Amino acid sequence: MTSRNALEKRLREEAMALGADYFGLADLSPAQALVREQGGQMMAQFPRAVSIGVVMPFAIVDLLPRHMDKAVAMAYRSHGYDILNRRLDEIASRLSSTLQREGYRSFPVRASQIMDEEGLYGLFSHKLAAHLAGLGWIGKSCLLVTPEVGPRVRWASVLTDAPLTAGQPLAERCGECEECVDACPAHAFTGRNFQPGEPREARFDVFKCREYFNWHEGRMKASACGMCVYACPYGRKR
């Protein structure tokens, strides 16, 4: 069996060669209760996660104040979402196979997945894994904010029982900034800082966000917004 360091190096190199911009390793034990609540025992049985991220095209994100323009909406939906999700799913699948060949259990989680239509929850929180891997913090927009490009990243995860060395979570750096809160056309954010264990509703009304998307799609035949992604100073200062 490959040594821990060699396996971690191999996973990182493989992810980057396949097009990932971010790679991190997370210990899920501090969030096990949340993982179980969201995805059940199927997800909670895995103690660690590999987190991978791909940066969105800056030129498209910078156009999002014009997301009511159909061309902008279609470009963002395609190149900032759908295509990146497919790339992430491919990377996650490859890394999962590598872990399995090394004798470990692995579960690739799709980049975009809504399992609970009533609560609009996914099977697993990619931003939680990225946060625990030390790649960023969860901002007032409920997005994972990286120090380098803010929230301009799409994420996927591979859950595993491999004994990987986890990163250290970053402390929140949003401070008093509320750019994402003010930019939201649906007024879906309360402006509260993220607190572990606090329900999502304390910070974010996901149904207001969904209603805006549905209205936008009905009007434009292309759903997009992303103003919380665009507005974050960590992304705009790059």
Q: What global pTM score does this model have?
A: 0.92
Q: Establish if 181 belongs to a structural domain.
A: yes
- CB burial class (10 A; 0-12, 13-18, 19+) of residue 171? exposed
Q: What pLDDT shows up at residue 126?
A: 95
Contact 137, 189 (CB under 8 A): no
User: Which of 52-56, 139-143, 191-195 is predicted with the least confidence, judged by mean pLDDT?
Assistant: 191-195
Q: Does the pLDDT of residue 113 top 90, yes or no?
A: no
Query: CA neighbours within 13 Å on the CB side: how many for 140?
Result: 24
In the three-class reduction of DSSP (H, G, I as helix; E, B as strand; rest coil), residue 139 is classed as coil
DSSP of 215-226, one letter per residue? Answer: HHHHHHSS----
Question: How many residues in the chain?
Answer: 238
Q: What pLDDT shows up at residue 1?
A: 64
Q: Establish if 33 belongs to a structural domain.
A: yes
Q: What pLDDT shows up at residue 56?
A: 98
Q: Establish if 125 belongs to a structural domain.
A: yes
Query: How many distinct structural domains can be found in the chain?
Result: 1
Domain region containing 227: 4-233
**Residue 229's CB: how many other CB atoms inside 10 A?**
22
Residues whose CB is less than 8 angstroms from the CB of residue 233 and which lie 6 or more positions away in sequence, other chains included: 150, 177, 179
Torsion of CA 17, 19, 25, 30, to 10 degrees: -170
Tens-digit pLDDT profile for residues 17-42: 999 999 999 999 999 988 898 888 98
Q: What pLDDT shows up at residue 115?
A: 61
**What is the average per-residue pLDDT within 105-134?**
84
Tens-digit pLDDT profile for residues 156-186: 999 999 999 999 999 999 999 999 999 999 9
Q: Establish if 238 belongs to a structural domain.
A: no
Q: Which two tokens stand for residue 87?
A: 């790339």
> Distance of alpha carbon 225 from its chain centroid, rounded?
16
Q: Establish if 168 belongs to a structural domain.
A: yes
The identity of residue 74, as a single letter, is: M
| CA distances for 17 relative to 21, 94, 96, angstroms | 10, 11, 15
**What is the average per-residue pLDDT within 62-78?**
94
Q: Does the pLDDT of residue 68 top 60, yes or no?
A: yes
In the three-class reduction of DSSP (H, G, I as helix; E, B as strand; rest coil), residue 116 is classed as strand
Q: Establish if 138 belongs to a structural domain.
A: yes
Q: Establish if 83 belongs to a structural domain.
A: yes
Q: Which two tokens stand for residue 21?
A: 């911009």
In sign, the C-alpha dihedral spanning 177, 204, 222, 124 is positive
Q: Which two tokens stand for residue 53?
A: 């991220």
Of 9, 139, 156, 18, nearest to 81 (Cα)?
156
Task: Using pLDDT thresholds of 50, 70 and 90, give the confidence band for residue 120.
Answer: low
Contact 232, 145 (CB under 8 A): yes
Q: Compute the mean pLDDT over every residue in the chain, rounded to the nearest whole number.
A: 92
* C-alpha–C-alpha distance, residues 110 and 20, integer Å: 15
